[in-house]
Structure 1
Amino acid sequence: MEKNIQCSCQGNHHAHMCMLKSSGNREEIEKITSDPKFYCFTCAAEANCAENLCAPAPIQ
């Protein structure tokens, strides 16, 4: 039976860093954090694209 884990932004976002970290998907995490341009205002995770974060903000 598959768990229906919710993202901290209350969405079901399997590609968000919070979901990837909780699943332990190290390979996917490495792909989306190779050249971070955004960070999550909620958890401070960094990612290449805003779409991979719950509350993205640009890294300046």
Structure 2
Amino acid sequence: MDVNWNIIGVVAILVLILVVLTIRKNLKEKKKLENLLNNDFKKAEKKDVDADDSANEK
């Protein structure tokens, strides 16, 4: 049984390229998700003023 090293080499290179592209895409998606989660919040607006919470008043 003869092993065709050319075909095995081509398949190995294609698999390596696929793995690298997948990792790069996942890193981009991770960065996008991290930015979204860090910047996608709204500050709670206070409607009631607490007397204990007024640090600037003297």
Identify the TM-score tier after normalising by the shorter chain.
Answer: under 0.3
- Return the structure number with greater strand share: 1
TM-score, normalized by length of structure 1?
Answer: 0.18
- Return the structure number with greater helix share: 2
TM-score, normalized by length of structure 2?
Answer: 0.18
